[in-house]
């Protein structure tokens, strides 16, 4: 579940405005919930970066195993979004230098985006 948790009314208002602005730029409904902060528990390891974990070759290339390393990896989070259909080809290409992927790995992600008709090809 995608969620924004707020601690006070000001944060709630800012989150609602941000979500509304993002929705106007997106052709797909944004499913993010805006919820009052409460007790938070990390999901089990097999739920973390679930969409990325469905690509064992990519996980192997990244040399990341489920657990704290996967949970804390910025690159894993970004790739989880791209292979899951969030983001587009132009954004992936722009972000590619920061992701520090070799060309074979970048092609793998591009092919997933193409095959799944993701990324505005």
For residue 77 the two structure tokens come to 């989070």
* pLDDT confidence of residue 60: 93
pLDDT values of the chain reduced to their tens digit, one per residue, 121 residues: 789 999 999 999 999 999 999 999 999 899 999 999 988 788 888 788 989 999 999 999 999 888 888 888 999 999 999 999 888 899 999 999 999 999 999 999 999 998 877 555 4
Give dist(CA 97, CA 41) in Å, integer: 33
Which residue is associated with the tokens 């070759």? 57
* pLDDT confidence of residue 120: 54
* pLDDT confidence of residue 42: 80
> C-alpha angle with apex 44: 2 to 5, nearest 5 degrees?
30
Residue 30 DSSP symbol? P
* pLDDT confidence of residue 61: 92
- Identify the H or E element spanning 44: none
Give dist(CA 23, CA 92) in Å, integer: 20
Give dist(CA 18, CA 25) in Å, integer: 11
């Amino acid at each position: 579940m995608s969620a924004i948790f707020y601690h006070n009314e000001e944060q709630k208002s800012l989150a609602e405005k941000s979500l509304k602005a993002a929705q106007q730029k997106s052709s797909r409904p944004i499913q993010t919930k805006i919820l009052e902060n409460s007790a938070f528990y990390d999901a089990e390891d097999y739920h973390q970066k679930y969409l990325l974990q469905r690509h064992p070759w990519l996980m192997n290339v990244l040399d990341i195993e489920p657990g704290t390393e996967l949970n804390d990896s910025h690159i894993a989070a970004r790739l989880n979004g791209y292979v899951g259909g969030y983001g587009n080809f132009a954004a992936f290409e722009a972000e590619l230098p920061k992701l520090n992927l070799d060309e074979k790995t970048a092609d793998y992600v591009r092919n997933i985006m193409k095959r799944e008709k993701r990324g505005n090809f």
